[in-house]
Structure 1
Amino acid sequence: MAVPNVGRGGNAQKQALYSIVQALAMFHAKRNTPLPPGLLGFPSPDYDPTTSPFKDLQPGPEVGSIHIAGKHINIYTLFSAVLSRGGATVLTTNDAWSILLPQFDLPDQHQTPDGSLVNVAQLLRHHYNLIFVPFEDIYRRNLHEKAQAMRQMNASSQPLRPGQSNMPIPRGPNGHLAQSTPNPNLMPPGPQTISSASMPRGPSLPRDPSVDRTPTDYEQDLHSAKRKLEFDESDGKRVRQKTEPFDPGFPAAPVTEPASVGSNNSVPSLPATSAMSSQPRPRHEPSRRKIEYVPLAREVDTYGGRDVKLIEGELFPQAQRRQLRDINDWGTIDIDALTMSLRSRLSTELSYSLTTLTLLSTMKGAQPNTGFRIMDCPELLDEVLDLLEDLAFSDEEDIFDLPAPYDDPHITTNRKLLNEVLNHEAEPFAGLQVRQGSKDPKSGGPQQRPGSLILAVLNIIRNLCIFLDNAEYIARHPRALDLLLRLCSETWNGTTVSPTSPAISLNDLIVIRKDTLHVLFYVAAVFHFVDGAAPSKTVLRLAKRIFFLISSYLVDPAEAVTPFASLQLVGTVIHRPPVLADIALEVFTRIGHSDTNRLVFAKAVPRASLKNLFVSLVHRLPVVDGDFQLLNREQWLSYIEKVVMALYALAFLSPPDLKERLKSDRSLGLKSIILRMVQKLAVHSTPELRSFFMISVRRAVETMKVLDDAKDSFDTSTATVTTLSFGMGYGEVGENDVETGTGLFGGHRDSTWDMMLLREVNMDEQLFSELDSLIRVEY
């Protein structure tokens, strides 16, 4: 086999690279998977780029290097880095391949030519497994066997003990041990005497420095074995040498003295050991001992000392997320005992009952979309509402009076409440101030704050409303929604705002309003006002509070902006509209869908509040091209559909004089905004998207038609027509009566004609007739 032209006369790094390349070439050739020639540096005749598993491997410009994410990686350096960290199995088990990226200056992700992003750590793992994983097992096995052999050799070749001679054992002519009388000259010396045949008495002769003693075969083998073992351990096991300090209490090692020169005695000289004297020689330098160690901690990617990936893996396991437990898994619960625990008002009993109810409210039933049926235990819900009322209010509510038609009541928006809380928290020593809703320091004992208990009860009711059967029951309950909306009320003195309930703070009021809005979101589809034709004062109070709660999330001038402006307001590119505003629109469009509910809103809400909400919704309609580009997203299109439907509901329930004011208000620019939106969505959109936009177009045209008529939408009385007039030319009645006057789009006939020629408009008879009525012109 040819060899690459590396490592010949080079440094140790190149020689090691040459060795690993040659070993890999032989290893993969035996497995019938030859490596590519570009990696080896010499021809590989059996390599087939069409069927080889290494066909996706990109060799680097140098021998023994591969190309990964725009970098050239030396395979010897890669192999050494992986082995020093425990091997491929350890890195894969701990998901720690990313710790190798900084060593090779590799990025976290790499963009492929087709535009997709690839995880570089996984790519590095793939290349290593392809080249080294089978080779790594054999390499480790060879190192282990070699180290074990060297340890056995070291154990069998122990150094001579003091007083032991390295002379060969005398044998007979046939090779057996001699059985004759022992020769005293061949006996090992005792502790205090030495043979006169082996060494003369008296002081030893000085050694001639010009003559070097030839080491014995045993010493040569021991020295070579020691060097071999040190080389293997330093390369394979990464042993760190540790120098220990001198310990006076530890016995000194025997020191070998050179043999005397000039003696004619044929017996080899014995090493001078502790047998020469009764006291061992002192040791003047510390001994070296080799200590193997395993790191106690692995390297991790941390942020501020915390392993973020490990924390996320423990807190949010995607593959092992626990499912919600079925309600039958919790055994039997005594509802009567739970009700009595709430009625007792004891702190321990309240803690038990509220915790149990919280768990029950999140349980799912045996059937889909079912859970804990609160309608089966009405006394429990009544007791929960009694607890909520006792904690929040100390007296009954005053009698509700009908608002004047032209009143302009103050509406505290959600943004206003947030600013109030931020201003309070920014004051000096804000945490030491005792405000409304704070825990009373004179109460004594570890008691819960009433506001915390109120939030716990609100959480239980919101969880119950998730299931449709509970939502229908709570929507028909005479006290539930009225009590929740009473908690959302506030008091405005001209400068500051405070909750009506003395038990809650401004922070609690923000959370209570949001939870109540979510409750209305779940019950809106099945909610209907009782006696819409002649509503009671309680029903009118409920309708007014629902309208004001919805308006508090929609009428703030800083937030009532177009879709593109709302993105600029947040400061970041988000992919969804404002969440709370979207929920508020959903609630109003669902509750205001039926004519009965619209009639109650018309009687309970002043005209100024209706106009304020109508103007705010018009400001949320798309105007510029950036707004219409966002409508290509499903969430923003749904948001605009809700805005247009809410405008239609407000136009429908508004009295005739308010409709005239909205239609003629030039500062609002309603006609121009609606006409531009209809043209953009119907005429200038692609045929594929036009079908999705037609819902908003149809409802916007209906809104303009209702304003153009300026009639009382709840007046169902019709003019009585004589029988002779039918078919006699005296006029037409019903839906096809002749309309007079100029329509709202009468001055824009050219632009509206293009819209009427669309196939989607022609196929919709109702939409076509309403457009035709809006572009009429009286000559």
Structure 2
Amino acid sequence: MLHQHSSQNELSSGSSSTFPFDTALLDAAQAKQMAALTAVGQARTAQGNMRPSNGGGNSGSFLGGIPPGHNNFQNQPLLERSMSQNPAPRPSQPSNTFKEKSSNFIYSLATVFAKRNQPLPPSLTGISTPTYDPINSPFKDIEAGSEHGTFRLAGKDINIFHLWTMIWHRGGMGNVGKDNNAWAAILQVFDIPESALPTLVQIYSKILLPFESMYRQNLMEQQKKAQAMRQAAASSTPSANNQHPPTSTNTVSQQRGSGMGFPPSQPPSSSVPSSSMQISTGLPPIDGGSAILDGPTLDQDLQGLKRKLEQEEEVKRTRQKTETADSVLPAGSASDQAFVGPSDVNPGPTAQAPTTATMTGHPRTRQELSRRKIEYKPLVRDIETYGGRDLKQVEVELHHSNRRPLRDINDWGTIDIDALTLSIRSKLSTELSYALTTLTLLSTMKGQTPTSGFPINNCPDLFEEVLDLVEDLAFDDVIDSPEAIDLQDNPHIVTNREIVDIVYELETQPFAVLERRQGSKHPDLGPRQRPANLILTVINIIRNLSVFGDNVPFLANQPRLLDLLLRVCGVSEKASSYVPTSPVLSLTDCLAIRKDVLHILSLLAPAIRLPEGTTSLSTVRRIFNLVTSYLVDPAEAVSPIACVQLAGVPLGGNLRPPSLADVALEVFTRLAHSDGNRLVFSKAVSRPSLWCLFVSLVHRLPLQDLDFQLISREIWLSYVEKIVMALYTLGFIFPPELKSRAKTDRSLGFKNVMMRIIQKLFVQNGAESRQFFIIIVRRIIETLKIIDDAEDSFDNTKGVVSTLSFGMGYGEVGENDIERGTGLLGGYTDIGWNILLCREVQHDDVMFSELESLIRIEY
């Protein structure tokens, strides 16, 4: 035991002498610790020879000598350095500000895309790229922010570097896309609505997702290189250890054999190799040029191994002393042969002692801790019902109903129109069900020509019975009273968005389906249909009939049809809210009916005539209120690119204008196309309502560069043409005071917006592109001219020649009248002359004369 204790003290002192060590007296646990300490010492020796330490501790092997050259330099003790009272202060590096990091990131981002031959817009990065093409670039739809490195979305400036850091810290685009809460947090940070999320995802996919993929790939390559370096370092350590010759070990074996199997009490001095014997004993120094070993990584591995050995030592101290070596180490292993010794107690002279490689063995690999995710799932009871209803049973019944085969058209056989008329007149539940189902099927059938269908003009009695049914169900016996018309009144126009918000609020309340509201089915009806369902069916039939061109003249000349449809879709205010005019309809039904009536008017508008004196002014006013309900809402009266962002449609997808607003513009422009209909509108609609519609239409015109890129598409160009045509119609209807207001209202900027459209579409485009925009430019000039006149368009006395005017020199009237004063575009003389020099304008005499009049200047 004295010998063993002294040997361990020599091992721990790190002496520079190497001595033969007998492991036969060690138990299994001590032998295993000694093997691990040997591996640690050899690894330290390899690291120390690889790169000189500038202040580290002893790098020699636990079981070997200190490497050569150790006395050439002197190391400062580790304890002395760490426990010094006055350490030298380290200069603190100045931290980069967020703006500097953002600038560096944007520069790197621009460089990456420039190398990919997809340069980013200079307005977005602040870096000019000569190869950037603003027309064909995939990033042309992205609106740059007020500062470089930002883009604008939903009225907010989004910092690209900030967006990148937030998504990268959450695991990248792949992890954020799976977690809806992550997107909600990101939207909350940038203060943008949820409707702009698809656009934000598309912009990130265009700009930052390629950069994220490259960045992640570089990190993976660096990790693979570091892992390869660590594996090479780990594999180089045992290979170096296996090069030791068995010189000293054989000496120990010979001494053990001569001493009856017991080791000597003191190691002989003849078996201790010195540093000068290193070459002769076959122990070459470890090559210090091995650059694949990573110093910090190797230090971390050694520290981890030391901590593992300490933990194993604490555990093994608690084991029973009766544990044998065979229970600790597996039989026949290299460690078993090295530390326990050979199985023969008295080996013969031919027995060979184990070599150093056998004693040392291969160092055991560190066992990596497995990562486990603990998830707590509370005990819950599965509920098969939702809101008190068994959804599985509902699905079963729905499946049975879907399995029923649809009836073929031949099952109806020969249909008697007179029988259908009598069935509708009877108002019996079963008769109404059969008659309306049959009539719905007939209304969808096409004739031999594309414009022919079911000839409703040959069935006037049937059509009258259908209208009687709607009127009886919707209003019973209540007579429609005409509304009082006040041209100076400013009534509130109920918009479609307001009705939708009310319906959404009512339907999202708890137990909304159980609450009795207007339009709900009365319990006394029993199995019969709800009256609103019958009204919706009849209006759907009328819409189907109006699709065919042969039925349009007949339906357009039915004044009762127009009055009844507009009365059914009316909305009135009640208790600080809105309710349908018909007591059997709900707001949800009213929304569907208003949309169907709007489409019916769009089909019948070209054939509708509103003669003065015979047309009810209430009907005209209801038409105007229905059309403007889809156009005047401030949240929806925005430019084209803002409409796309408001709808949440990605910029690269199928971008279309708002459908209901487009149909409303179609109805207004077609219905108010004739001068007779415009005169009726001027007498039925109040002046504030006309001005409200005018302002909303100006706000819908394109203004930004992205707007003009969007209207280069045919569907958006048609949308803007309808807006300009509606402005021309309003300018024609306007009294002189509203025309003067449109000219002088600086907050609206009517003429500035119009001139910007002309400049973008006509002046800045070539001759090949002007042919696509000549119609809209002509409509704009006509609108500006009619506003500039500031006269009553319905006054016919201007063209009458006075009796005394002939021969007096002041008889010029009509087009030969001398215009005085500065024109509406007097401040845009340069742009006006550029437009006048265009070939398309010179070939159009009317357009040329109107534009020349607009740019006149009175000196």
TM class by smaller structure: 0.5 to 0.7
1:575 aligns with 2:655: yes
1:415 aligns with 497
Unaligned runs of 5+ in 2: 1-401
Give CA deviations for 1:530-551 in whole Å, capped at 9, x if unaligned.
x32xx24x52111111111000
Q: Per the alignment, in what secondary structure is the counterpart of residue 491 of structure 1? A: strand
Which amino acid is 1:545 matched to? R
1:459 pairs, out of 514, 536, 540, with 540
CA shift for structure 1 position 725: 5.6
Q: Distance in 2 between matches of 1:769 and 1:338?
A: 61
Q: Residues 646 and 730 from structure 1, CA distance in 2 versus in 1: closer, same or farther, beyond 3 angstroms?
A: closer
1:739 aligns with 819
2:773 aligns with 693
Residues 402 and 604 in structure 1, CA contact (< 8 A), matched pair in contact too: no
Residues 651 and 706 in structure 1, CA contact (< 8 A), matched pair in contact too: yes
Q: Distance in 2 between matches of 1:472 and 1:678?
A: 38
2:625 aligns with 548
1:718 aligns with 798
1:591 pairs, out of 651, 655, 671, with 671
CA shift for structure 1 position 622: 0.5
Residues 656 and 716 in structure 2, CA contact (< 8 A), matched pair in contact too: yes
Q: Distance in 2 between matches of 1:469 and 1:435?
A: 41
1:760 aligns with 840
Give CA deviations for 1:491-533 in whole Å, capped at 9, x if unaligned.
114721100100010100000000000100110111111x32x
1:219 aligns with none
Q: Distance in 2 between matches of 1:757 and 1:328?
A: 67
Q: Distance in 1 between matches of 2:413 and 2:449?
A: 17
Q: Distance in 1 between matches of 2:801 and 2:713?
A: 51
1:709 aligns with 2:789: yes
1:518 aligns with 599
Q: Per the alignment, in what secondary structure is the counterpart of residue 615 of structure 1? A: helix
CA shift for structure 1 position 477: 0.6
Q: Residues 442 and 399 from structure 1, CA distance in 2 versus in 1: closer, same or farther, beyond 3 angstroms?
A: closer
- State which drifts further: 705-714 or 678-687: 678-687
1:340 aligns with 422
Residues 644 and 655 in structure 2, CA contact (< 8 A), matched pair in contact too: no
1:651 aligns with 2:728: no
The number of aligned residues is 452
Q: Distance in 2 between matches of 1:724 and 1:607?
A: 37
For residues 476-515 of structure 1, the aligned pairs below 5 Å read: 476-493=557-574, 495-515=576-596
1:395 pairs, out of 437, 452, 477, with 477
CA shift for structure 1 position 368: 2.7
2:434 aligns with 352
Which amino acid is 1:555 matched to? V
For residues 279-318 of structure 1, the aligned pairs below 5 Å read: none
1:436 aligns with 518
For residues 667-686 of structure 1, the aligned pairs below 5 Å read: 667-686=747-766
Q: Distance in 2 between matches of 1:720 and 1:644?
A: 31
Q: Distance in 2 between matches of 1:760 and 1:621?
A: 23
1:370 aligns with 452
Q: Distance in 1 between matches of 2:799 and 2:670?
A: 32
Residues 826 and 855 in structure 2, CA contact (< 8 A), matched pair in contact too: yes
Q: Per the alignment, in what secondary structure is the counterpart of residue 409 of structure 1? A: coil
Which amino acid is 2:827 matched to? G
1:619 aligns with 699
Q: Residues 611 and 724 from structure 1, CA distance in 2 versus in 1: closer, same or farther, beyond 3 angstroms?
A: closer
TM-score (norm 1): 0.56
CA shift for structure 1 position 406: 1.0
Q: Per the alignment, in what secondary structure is the counterpart of residue 404 of structure 1? A: coil
Which amino acid is 2:543 matched to? R
Residues 726 and 732 in structure 1, CA contact (< 8 A), matched pair in contact too: no
Residues 653 and 713 in structure 1, CA contact (< 8 A), matched pair in contact too: yes
Q: Distance in 2 between matches of 1:710 and 1:451?
A: 48
Q: Residues 418 and 759 from structure 1, CA distance in 2 versus in 1: closer, same or farther, beyond 3 angstroms?
A: same
Which amino acid is 1:550 matched to? V
Residues 451 and 508 in structure 1, CA contact (< 8 A), matched pair in contact too: yes
Unaligned runs of 5+ in 1: 1-314, 316-321
Q: CA RMSD in A?
A: 2.1
Q: Per the alignment, in what secondary structure is the counterpart of residue 747 of structure 1? A: coil
Give CA deviations for 1:640-676 in whole Å, capped at 9, x if unaligned.
0000000000110111111112221111110100011
Q: Distance in 2 between matches of 1:362 and 1:398?
A: 32
CA shift for structure 1 position 425: 1.1
Q: Residues 624 and 382 from structure 1, CA distance in 2 versus in 1: closer, same or farther, beyond 3 angstroms?
A: same
CA shift for structure 1 position 734: 2.5
Residues 798 and 813 in structure 2, CA contact (< 8 A), matched pair in contact too: no
Which amino acid is 1:738 matched to? I
CA shift for structure 1 position 359: 0.3
Q: Distance in 2 between matches of 1:329 and 1:595?
A: 51
Q: Per the alignment, in what secondary structure is the counterpart of residue 579 of structure 2? A: strand
Q: Per the alignment, in what secondary structure is the counterpart of residue 446 of structure 2? A: coil
Q: Per the alignment, in what secondary structure is the counterpart of residue 405 of structure 1? A: coil
Q: Distance in 2 between matches of 1:387 and 1:662?
A: 47
Give CA deviations for 1:124-160 in whole Å, capped at 9, x if unaligned.
xxxxxxxxxxxxxxxxxxxxxxxxxxxxxxxxxxxxx
Q: Per the alignment, in what secondary structure is the counterpart of residue 412 of structure 1? A: coil
Give CA deviations for 1:722-760 in whole Å, capped at 9, x if unaligned.
678657744522212110011110111112111111111
Q: Per the alignment, in what secondary structure is the counterpart of residue 558 of structure 1? A: coil
1:638 aligns with 718
Q: Distance in 2 between matches of 1:713 and 1:328?
A: 58
Residues 462 and 519 in structure 1, CA contact (< 8 A), matched pair in contact too: yes
Q: Per the alignment, in what secondary structure is the counterpart of residue 399 of structure 1? A: coil
Q: Distance in 1 between matches of 2:681 and 2:821?
A: 30
Q: Distance in 2 between matches of 1:729 and 1:717?
A: 19
TM-score (norm 2): 0.51
Which amino acid is 1:547 matched to? F
CA shift for structure 1 position 720: 4.7
Q: Distance in 1 between matches of 2:547 and 2:817?
A: 48
1:60 aligns with none
Q: Distance in 1 between matches of 2:802 and 2:521?
A: 75
Q: Distance in 1 between matches of 2:529 and 2:481?
A: 32
CA shift for structure 1 position 625: 0.5
Q: Per the alignment, in what secondary structure is the counterpart of residue 479 of structure 1? A: helix
Which amino acid is 1:648 matched to? Y
Q: Residues 740 and 362 from structure 1, CA distance in 2 versus in 1: closer, same or farther, beyond 3 angstroms?
A: same
2:638 aligns with 561
Residues 640 and 700 in structure 2, CA contact (< 8 A), matched pair in contact too: yes
Give CA deviations for 1:346-397 in whole Å, capped at 9, x if unaligned.
0000000000000000011123320001110100000000000111002333
CA shift for structure 1 position 691: 1.0
Q: Pick 1 or 2: higher relative contact order, CA cutoff 8 A, min separation 6.
A: 2
Q: Distance in 2 between matches of 1:563 and 1:754?
A: 27
Residues 406 and 607 in structure 1, CA contact (< 8 A), matched pair in contact too: yes
Which amino acid is 1:502 matched to? P
CA shift for structure 1 position 478: 2.3
Q: Distance in 1 between matches of 2:672 and 2:799?
A: 28
Q: Residues 328 and 744 from structure 1, CA distance in 2 versus in 1: closer, same or farther, beyond 3 angstroms?
A: farther
